[in-house]
Amino acid sequence: MNPLHGLPLLGDLPDIDGRRVLVRVDFNVPLHIGIDGRATVADDFRITAALPTLRWLQDQGAEVVAVSHLGRPAATRDPRWEMDPVRDRLATLCPGIELGDNLRFDPGEKANDPAFVDSLIKGYDAYVNEAFGVAHRRHASIVGPPHFLPSAAGLRLAREVEVLGSILAHPARPFVAVVGGAKVADKIELLKALSSKVDTLVVGGGMAFTFLAAQGRAVGSSLLDLEHLEDCRALLASGVDIRLPTDIRALEPGGVLGPSGRGGVKVIEGDLPDGWNGLDIGPDSAAAFAEVVRGAGTVMWNGPLGAFEDARFAAGTRVVAQAVAACKGFSVVGGGDSASALEELHLCDQVGFLSTGGGASLAFIERGGDLPALDALRHASNAPQE
């Protein structure tokens, strides 16, 4: 089925010339605090991703007001999380768009409080969701307005759904997923969902050690999640082709991780001795993973292969990122850390699709495309009928 089926798109909105349109965007961007204490936008990828929709609405003659959350304020006004730096950048990139207050200053946003939904939609004629990064959240500004206003998915949100939906439905094979990151607990549902779809599942990062332990290997003092040992064992026994690191770059006992890190680092094959902390895949594993990735018809990458913020443990992530960029097939990269790694390597424009949502893209795959934001839009009064 077409992944966009039933989803109202911009063209499904009634005439918005001279009308007020509320656009939920995801401008939760990283900020840079200068020596003068002034915050500026450190990375505007999420803002630029929404511009085509904002400009389209302006071109139709609409009066556009965007709303977003920023950071993690404690449900009350907090000067650290005012939208001003974002507003400044938006004014430069797309003049004439108003940007409302940080939505999460009000407890009603996360609580999906009907009274807050009421206050949000007051005075508007239509609603557009251009916030894929939070499409998996059941928050007021995401699931509320489509009950009351003609609504539409923004261009970028629709593209996210189209790309992720199509690779799940009919990926060019072989379909390879590379999953890294710190915690198995965060990604076990993703791995289970992917295991029935992919041809090969490449597992790296801290989460690989629970898989290695499930195979009976000693993992020293590397990250280990005993609660999910059984899940990993079951996945390994399920018959899916899972590739795990065979060599590990590890930090000696008592070594310190981070920018001012110290301590001996060694590549170890097989069991890790007591106290050694596995923080990256070794060069043999990186080469083997890269070969699988380069030969993929579709590759999906989510999560770093090591503690890449420390340059001593960045090589595995770098080699895999380069392979993803070099892959002749279609490559999709989840947001978050994988996107930062790509950016550092200046490889962003060499992948097929860079998702604006880390958590949302994981949730999309885990739930087969069923996200609260999409469900709400499909129930809007102007949604295309079956």
Binding site for ligand AMP (CB under 6 A): 181-183, 186, 205-206, 223, 278-279, 303-304, 306-309, 336-337
The residue (of 151 and 356) whose beta carbon lies closer to ligand AMP is 356
The residue (of 160 and 337) whose beta carbon lies closer to ligand AMP is 337
The least distance separating ligand AMP from the CB of residue 314, rounded to whole angstroms, comes to 9
The residue (of 278 and 282) whose beta carbon lies closer to ligand AMP is 278
The least distance separating ligand AMP from the CB of residue 268, rounded to whole angstroms, comes to 13
Q: In the numeric block, which tokens belong to residue 54? A: 């904002």
The least distance separating ligand AMP from the CB of residue 322, rounded to whole angstroms, comes to 18
The least distance separating ligand AMP from the CB of residue 196, rounded to whole angstroms, comes to 22
Q: Are 83 and 102 in contact (CB under 8 A)?
A: yes
The residue (of 96 and 254) whose beta carbon lies closer to ligand AMP is 254
Q: Cα 174 to the chain's mean position, in Å?
A: 23
Parallel/antiparallel/unpaired status of strands 175-179 and 298-302: parallel
* Cα four-point dihedral sign 86, 87, 91, 94: positive
Peptide bond into 30 cis (omega under 30): no
The residue (of 60 and 340) whose beta carbon lies closer to ligand AMP is 340
Q: Cα 152 to the chain's mean position, in Å?
A: 22
Q: Which residue sits closest to ligand AMP, CB atoms considered?
A: 181
The least distance separating ligand AMP from the CB of residue 206, rounded to whole angstroms, comes to 3
User: What whole-number distance in Å separates Cα of residue 99 and Cα of residue 19?
Assistant: 17
The count of residues in the chain is 386
Q: Are 57 and 64 in contact (CB under 8 A)?
A: yes
CA dist 250 → 215, 216, 242, 253, 280 (Å):
19, 18, 22, 9, 7
The least distance separating ligand AMP from the CB of residue 103, rounded to whole angstroms, comes to 23
The residue (of 108 and 306) whose beta carbon lies closer to ligand AMP is 306
